[in-house]
C-alpha cells in the first residue's frame, strides 16, 4: 500500500531544543495533517493544512504545506518533556471513498 | 468535541476465536476507518466505510471483515484470530464534504492473541 516517507524515524533531544520533521510523497495531496500520539492512546490532531504554501501555527508548533503539494514539515520550538510521543503526518487526496495515508511516525524523546 | 469510542482498551483472545472490535462515533460522520499499528510500520489501513453498508478494502484486509449497519457504528471482525493479529487497533471517523477532511481517532484497542 501507499505510504508517506516520514523522517527522521526517531529523535533524542534536550529540553529547550527546536525540532523539525518532514514528510514526502510521490502523490500530490489536497490536505496534510499532523497528529501526535501519546503512549497507549489514539493519535490526536495537531494541525491541518489545506493549501499549497500554507504555513500554520498552533502554539509552539508550526507546519507548512509544501508548494509542490508533495511534502510537509512540522517544527516544534523550545521542546518540553510533554512533547514526548510519536508524531505522524497524514495526507489525503480528497474525493469520495478515499482514506488518509500515514507516514510511519517520528518518535520524539526529550530529556530534561 | 468529536468523540470516537472503542469498546475495549485491552483484549486477550485465543487463537481461532472470532473477535469483534466495536467503534462508535457521535458526530454523524459519513466515513469510518480501521487501522492497525505496529512498531516501525506506522498506521496501516485495514478497511474503511464511506456510508452505511458500504465498505472498501484498505492495504491489509486479509483475515478481517467489517460491518456498518448503522452510521455511528463500525465493527471490525477477526474471523479466526491468529497470533500475527496481535496489535494495536485504531478506529477513526471523518465527516463528508470538502471542508471536513480531519480524521478523529478513538483511544485504541490493544489486542493480544495467545
- What pLDDT is recorded for position A30? 87
- What pLDDT is recorded for position B12? 98
Average pLDDT in chain A: 91
CA distance A28 to A3: 12
Number of Cβ within a 10 Å radius of residue B3: 11
Name the grid cell of B40: 516501525
Residues B59-96 pLDDT 10s: 999 999 999 999 999 999 999 999 999 999 999 998 87
CA distance A111 to B12: 34
- What pLDDT is recorded for position A95? 62
- List the beta bridge partners of residue B56: B48
CA distance B68 to chain A (A): 15
Residue labelled with grid coordinates 478506529: B91
Residues B19-64 pLDDT 10s: 999 999 999 999 999 999 998 888 999 999 989 999 999 999 999 9
Q: How confident is the model at residue A112 (pLDDT cuts 50, 70, 90)?
A: confident
Q: Which among A1, A6, A42 has the least Cβ separation from residue B44?
A: A1
CB interface of B with A, residues 15-44, below 8 Å: 31, 33, 35, 40-44
- What pLDDT is recorded for position B95? 81
- List the beta bridge partners of residue A57: A62
Burial of residue B48, with CB atoms counted within 10 A of its CB: 0-12 exposed, 13-18 middle, 19 or more buried: buried
Number of H helices and number of E strands within chain B?
0, 11
3-state helix, strand and coil shares in percent for chain B, rounded to the nearest 5: 5, 55, 45
* Strand, helix or coil for residue A3: coil
Q: How confident is the model at residue A106 (pLDDT cuts 50, 70, 90)?
A: very high
- What pLDDT is recorded for position B83? 98
Kindly tell me if the per-residue pLDDT of A12 is higher than 90.
yes
Side-chain half-sphere CA neighbours of A84 within 13 A: 11
Using CA atoms, how far residue B71 sits from A22, A96, A103, B30, B64, in Å, is 35, 16, 28, 7, 20
Kindly tell me if the per-residue pLDDT of A85 is higher than 60.
yes
Determine phi and psi for A14, rounding to 5 degrees: -90, 145
CA distance B114 to B96: 39
Q: Kindly list the residues from chain A whose CB atom is less than 8 angstroms away from the CB atom of residue B94.
A: 100
Determine phi and psi for A88, rounding to 5 degrees: -115, 140
CB contact under 8 A, B101 and A40: no
Number of Cβ within a 10 Å radius of residue A70: 17
Q: How confident is the model at residue B97 (pLDDT cuts 50, 70, 90)?
A: low
Which of A3, A99, A101, A107 should be substituted to probe chain B, the one whose Cβ sees the most B Cβ atoms within 10 Å? A99
- What pLDDT is recorded for position B13? 98
Say if CB A24 and CB A71 are below 8 A apart.
yes
Amino acid at each position: 500500500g501507499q505510504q508517506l516517507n516520514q523522517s527522521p524515524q526517531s529523535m533524542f533531544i534536550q529540553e529547550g531544543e527546536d525540532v523539525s520533521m518532514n514528510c514526502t510523497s510521490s502523490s500530490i495531496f489536497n490536505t496534510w495533517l499532523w497528529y501526535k500520539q501519546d503512549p497507549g492512546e489514539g493519535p490526536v490532531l495537531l494541525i491541518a493544512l489545506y493549501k499549497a504554501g500554507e504555513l500554520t501555527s498552533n502554539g509552539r508548533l508550526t507546519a507548512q504545506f509544501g508548494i509542490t503539494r508533495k511534502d510537509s514539515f512540522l517544527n516544534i520550538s523550545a521542546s518540553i518533556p510533554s512533547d514526548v510521543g510519536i508524531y505522524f503526518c497524514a495526507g489525503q487526496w480528497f474525493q469520495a471513498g478515499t482514506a488518509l495515508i500515514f507516514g510511519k511516525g517520528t518518535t520524539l524523546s526529550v530529556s530534561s | 468535541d468529536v468523540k470516537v469510542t472503542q469498546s475495549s482498551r485491552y483484549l486477550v483472545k485465543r487463537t481461532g476465536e472470532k473477535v469483534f472490535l466495536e467503534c462508535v462515533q457521535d458526530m454523524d460522520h459519513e466515513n469510518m476507518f480501521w487501522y492497525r499499528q505496529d512498531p516501525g510500520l506506522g498506521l496501516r489501513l485495514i478497511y474503511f466505510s464511506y456510508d452505511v453498508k458500504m465498505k472498501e478494502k484498505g492495504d491489509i484486509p486479509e483475515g478481517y471483515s467489517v460491518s456498518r449497519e448503522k452510521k455511528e457504528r463500525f465493527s471490525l471482525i477477526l474471523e479466526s484470530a491468529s497470533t500475527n493479529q496481535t496489535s494495536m487497533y485504531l478506529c477513526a471517523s471523518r465527516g463528508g464534504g470538502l471542508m471536513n477532511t480531519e480524521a478523529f481517532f478513538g483511544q485504541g484497542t490493544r489486542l493480544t492473541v495467545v
